[in-house]
A and B are shown apart, each in its own frame.
Chain A
Amino acid sequence: DSGVTQTPKHLITATGQRVTLRCSPRSGDLSVYWYQQSLDQGLQFLIQYYNGEERAKGNILERFSAQQFPDLHSELNLSSLELGDSALYFCASSVTGGGDTQYFGPGTRLTVL
């Protein structure tokens, strides 16, 4: 158990819908990261937050947005869902966000029908 929690574990929804994925970092970690794992793209970085501020951005679609709240939990919002958004979404956390170990949560498996 990495100490990073993600909810829900599984999510099944329809095209065009909007969903929210939630992540709670390890106690003491200030930085949160989101990654997407799909069959065709592999594991890809989406976005990083540090203590509530956006720090680094990857190839995150405009239909996707994220935020980190004052209690340091983070949410990833996915809207206007398409079949291709079906993937495993991981959240990770680290203490400083500057080259230290990233610990990954169990992931949320999203299926878009």
Chain B
Amino acid sequence: GIQVEQSPPDLILQEGANSTLRCNFSDSVNNLQWFHQNPWGQLINLFYIPSGTKQNGRLSATTVATERYSLLYISSSQTTDSGVYFCAVARGRAGFQKLVFGTGTRLLVSP
């Protein structure tokens, strides 16, 4: 099956710093999502981005489908950005989908 690798596994930042998280996947996909899992366990949708670039406030993401990777940028980080960031992909045929998750990047933003 498809493999998803995320790097770095852990990241510690000072508040206000910028960071880039990477997601590599082993095959073509028709779904790629970035999630933030907060300390209470909630999985929050950040982006649906099987290709191209999107921005939402301090966060932006880029997926280069032909090279099988996606990047999540966090600018001016805040303590509330702490948690685990997951990339998940799917390549099922129409109507059949299962997201395969990476192992995540654990981010700690200190004040």
Binding site for B on A (CB under 8 A): 2, 31, 33, 35, 42-45, 48, 50, 55-56, 58, 88, 90, 92, 94, 96-104, 106-107, 109
CA distance A29 to B103 in the complex (A): 28
Interface: B90 (CB within 8 A): yes
Set of chain B residues within 8 Å of A103, measured between Cβ atoms: 45
Does the CB pair A98–B41 fall under 8 Å?
A: no
In the complex where A42-B101, A43-B86, A102-B33 touch, is A56 in contact with B96 (Cβ < 8 A)?
Answer: yes
Does the CB pair B45–A98 fall under 8 Å?
A: no
Set of chain B residues within 8 Å of A33, measured between Cβ atoms: 97-99
Does the CB pair B95–A55 fall under 8 Å?
A: yes
Does the CB pair B45–A94 fall under 8 Å?
A: no
Set of chain A residues within 8 Å of B90, measured between Cβ atoms: 99
CA distance A104 to B44 in the complex (A): 7
In the complex where A56-B92, A98-B95, A99-B50 touch, is A104 in contact with B43 (Cβ < 8 A)?
Answer: yes
Interface: B100 (CB within 8 A): yes
Interface: B66 (CB within 8 A): no
State which of A2, A88, A90, A99 has its C-beta within 8 Å of the C-beta of B97.
Answer: A99
Q: Chain A nearest CB: distance from B52 CB in Å?
A: 14
Does the CB pair A107–B97 fall under 8 Å?
A: no
State which of B31, B45, B100 has its C-beta within 8 Å of the C-beta of A45.
Answer: B100
Interface: B3 (CB within 8 A): no
6 smallest CB-CB distances across A and B, nearest first, come from A43-B101, A45-B98, A99-B30, A101-B48, A104-B43, A98-B94
Set of chain B residues within 8 Å of A101, measured between Cβ atoms: 33, 45, 48
Set of chain A residues within 8 Å of B92, measured between Cβ atoms: 56, 98-99
Set of chain B residues within 8 Å of A56, measured between Cβ atoms: 92, 96-98
Set of chain B residues within 8 Å of A98, measured between Cβ atoms: 92-97
25 A-B pairs with CB atoms under 8 Å apart are: A2-B45, A33-B97, A35-B99, A43-B86, A43-B88, A43-B101, A44-B101, A45-B100, A48-B98, A55-B97, A56-B98, A88-B41, A98-B95, A98-B96, A99-B50, A99-B90, A99-B94, A100-B48, A101-B45, A101-B48, A102-B31, A102-B97, A104-B35, A104-B44, A109-B41
